[in-house]
Amino acid sequence: MVRHQLCLALFGIAVETGVVMVVYLHEALDRRLNSGVEVRHEDIEAAVIEGAVHRLRPKLMTVCVVLASLIPILWETGVGSDVMQPIAAPIVGGMITSTIHVLILVPVFFALMKERALRRGTQQSRGSYSDKE
């Protein structure tokens, strides 16, 4: 039961950070779309890199703090370690795979989808996020 709750919590963290990454990618792309210049393949790549770079440090800092707090639990051999190690191990693995997912896969899939929309001629600006409140 505990492992299912841990997996659900890790899934929630991965989804939340993935959504934040997509927001940053959209904002970077929208700045290029709103400039009035026709967007090309290179512009989409540059926008994806710009948006991903803004999320790189916060994500890595979060993962490093979580790993720094959990890795000593994995090495512990004292009282209670037999209970804590099975709890800490999936969290460590989940944070590592979440980092790969958010920092590599989300930007790649975002770029592929936006380039497909550009080829179809359906790429358009989503507008300012502050205007949608």
Q: d(Cα 4, Cα 20) in Å, to the nearest integer?
A: 24
The reply to whether 75 falls in a domain is yes
The reply to whether 132 falls in a domain is no
Six-digit token pair at 93? 């693995």
Residue pair 129/23 in contact (Cβ under 8 Å)? The answer is yes
The reply to whether 47 falls in a domain is yes
- In the chain, how many domains are there? 1
The reply to whether 94 falls in a domain is yes
Mean pLDDT, rounded, for 111-133: 72
Range of the domain at 44: 2-122
The reply to whether 129 falls in a domain is no
Of residues 61 and 3, which shows the higher confidence score?
A: 61
pLDDT tens for 48-106 read: 999 999 999 998 998 899 889 988 888 888 888 888 888 888 888 888 988 999 999 99
Residue 128 predicted with pLDDT over 60: no
Per-residue confidence band for 132, with pLDDT thresholds at 50, 70 and 90:
very low
Looking up residue 117, the CATH number of its domain turns out to be 1.20.1640.10
For residue 113, give every residue at least 6 positions away whose Cβ sits within 8 Å of its Cβ, in sequence order, or none.
Answer: none
